[in-house]
Amino acid sequence: MGESIDYDSILALYDQKAKDIRTYSPSVLAYIGDTVFDLFVRASVIGEGNSSVNKMHKKCSDMVKASSQARLYERIEPMLSEEEADVMRRGRNSHQKTMAKNASAGDYHKATGLEALIGYLYMTGQNDRLFELMKVVEER
């Protein structure tokens, strides 16, 4: 007990060491960022009170779809440091082999940029900053 759910603690559980973050592609950052974002959204929805799982799932789905993430991208963009903006821009501009259904290409690319930033913050242990930016989700 007492372990936090951060990247380094998870790696230590499996006797692994963190790699240099600069070696990861924006797609890999977005891959983990997608899951971290989903966890924040689910925790937020559950925190609103007990409800049917179907209703919670619908609410979460609306919040994690590409168009919603694209709006969050635009809202947090002015709040970012130069380094954070660069990570988000690299994620947005990365070549994607797949495209979400019911999403414009622009929204999908912005969503990938947002997820890359979230993944980057998570993997570099910048939890305070991650929580600060994720607070914007509550301001929907």
Lowest mean pLDDT among 8-12, 15-19, 77-81, 93-97: 93-97
Please name the residue ranges forming H helices in the chain.
Answer: 7-13, 26-47, 53-64, 66-76, 82-93, 105-123, 127-138
Within-domain flag for 10 = no
Domain that holds residue 55: 22-138
Q: Mean pLDDT across the chain, nearest whole number?
A: 88
Indicate whether 100 pLDDT > 70: no
Structural domain total, the chain: 1
Q: Which two tokens stand for residue 31?
A: 């891959």
Other beta carbons within 10 Å of 13:
9
Please give the positions annotated as active site: 34
Within-domain flag for 87 = yes
Give, in order, the Cα–Cα distances in Å from 90 to each of 16, 36, 37, 100, 119: 27, 19, 18, 19, 13
What CATH number should be reported for the domain holding residue 122? 1.10.1520.10
Within-domain flag for 63 = yes
Alpha-carbon gap, residue 30 to 113, rounded angstroms: 7
| Per-residue model confidence as pLDDT tens digits over 54-92 | 999 999 998 899 999 999 999 999 999 999 999 999 999
Within-domain flag for 3 = no
Within-domain flag for 120 = yes
Within-domain flag for 17 = no
| Per-residue model confidence as pLDDT tens digits over 23-65 | 999 999 999 999 999 999 999 999 999 999 999 999 999 889 9
Within-domain flag for 83 = yes
